[in-house]
């Protein structure tokens, strides 16, 4: 594990141009939306725990929707409860939420296409943050839904991995990369750490043969994140030399209750969220993993 030091930190997935800030994006919305895309209780539990934590810290309202395909003749939006099992699911959701939250709502979403229905709900309900379950280890259908929602939602997206066990983590691993998603990932980690009084280790992985310029850039990046978090008594930084980014993060994740990672830039989106580094970390990490994608300030996938 890293020691408390000044200016050291994680993973450089993809380079940004000289005009692109090293740290961008922020978590400052006031409406969190949780679509129930699975009936797996452990996955739902982690989704709801993360959502309620973020809503509690920021004072945001929380909406949970239970979406499922509707027949062709059915209106896209309606509010009649027609299935007792689905009604019971929403009752169970309410039991999992925090009574101290300023506002919690639940609703049914009948849509001919679940993905389109959720995307429309994001726009119509003025949602700032969409929180969805991971696609790893699940059906191809849910993997496709998660991918489409994360890519096209008009809101920031947080993907919760399918490894159940999110709890009051004493420490958080923040593997950080430069680019438009770095600030959002850092803010999400900071919000959770503030709520749980947790330690944050900022990790940036560089190649063992990195140039002097890359090393200087890494130091600048971790310093920026360190000052952004602004919790010097409970934050440490670390630049780690390793031949494989994913393996390095997975190896370190065993020491933490939670890891928060940001999406890469542009063409690496799919590989980061649904393959390669991101999916590998989510599948093999020894802690719950949150993947943060900043959709608010970028238009690269539009």
Residue 177 pLDDT greater than 50, yes or no: yes
**Confidence at 220, pLDDT banded by 50, 70, 90:** very high
Q: Break the chain into its structural domains and give their ranges.
A: 31-160, 171-293
Q: What SS3 state is found at 175?
A: strand
C-alpha torsion sign, points 58, 181, 256, 52 = positive
Residue 128 pLDDT greater than 90, yes or no: yes
Residue 82 pLDDT greater than 80, yes or no: no
Contact criterion met (CB below 8 Å) for 181 and 261: no
Exposure pattern of 236-259 as b/e (b: 16+ CB <10 Å)?
Answer: bbbbbebeebbebbbebbeebbbb
CATH class held by domain 171-293: alpha beta
Fold match, 31-160 / 171-293: yes
Average pLDDT on 25-46 reads 85
Which residues are CB-neighbours of 43 under 8 A, at least 6 positions away?
Answer: 133, 134, 160, 162, 164
Tell me which H or E stretch contains 287: none
Q: Please state, in angstroms and rounded to a whole number, the distance separating the CA atoms of residues 62 and 51.
A: 8
The architecture (CATH level 2) of 31-160 comes to 3-Layer(aba) Sandwich (3.40)
Which one is predicted more confidently, 259 or 67? 259
CA–centroid distance for 246 within its chain = 17
Helices and strands (H and E) in the chain: how many: 9, 10
Residue 50 pLDDT greater than 70, yes or no: yes
DSSP code string of 11-78: ---S---TTS-SB------SEEEEE-----HHHHHHHHHHHHHHHHHHT-EEEEEEEEE--TTS-SS-
């Amino acid at each position: 594990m890293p020691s408390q030091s000044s200016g050291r930190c994680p993973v450089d997935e993809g380079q940004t141009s000289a005009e692109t800030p090293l740290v961008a994006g922020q978590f400052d919305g006031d409406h969190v939306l949780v679509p129930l895309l699975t009936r797996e209780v452990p996955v739902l539990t982690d989704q709801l725990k993360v959502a309620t934590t973020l809503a509690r810290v920021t004072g945001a309202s929380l909406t949970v929707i239970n979406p499922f395909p509707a027949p062709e003749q059915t209106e896209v939006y309606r509010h009649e409860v027609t299935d007792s099992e689905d009604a019971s699911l929403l009752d169970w959701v309410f039991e999992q939420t925090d009574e101290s939250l300023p506002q919690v709502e639940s609703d049914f979403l009948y849509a001919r296409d679940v993905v389109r229905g959720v995307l429309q709900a994001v726009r119509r309900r003025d949602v700032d943050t969409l929180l969805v379950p991971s696609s790893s280890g699940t059906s191809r259908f849910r993997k496709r839904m998660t991918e489409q929602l994360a890519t096209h939602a008009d809101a920031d997206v947080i993907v919760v991995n399918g490894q159940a066990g999110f709890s009051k983590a004493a420490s958080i691993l923040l593997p950080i990369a430069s680019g438009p998603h770095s600030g959002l990932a850092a803010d999400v980690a900071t919000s959770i750490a503030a709520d749980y009084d947790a330690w944050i280790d900022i990790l940036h992985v560089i190649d063992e043969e990195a140039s002097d310029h890359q090393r200087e850039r890494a130091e600048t990046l971790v310093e920026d994140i360190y000052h952004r978090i602004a919790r010097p008594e409970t934050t440490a930084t670390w630049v780690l030399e390793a031949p494989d980014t994913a393996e390095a993060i997975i190896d370190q994740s065993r020491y933490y209750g939670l890891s928060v990672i940001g999406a890469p830039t542009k063409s690496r989106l799919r590989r980061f969220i649904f393959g390669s580094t991101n999916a590998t970390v989510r599948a093999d990490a020894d802690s719950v993993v949150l993947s943060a994608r900043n959709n608010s300030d970028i238009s690269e996938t539009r």
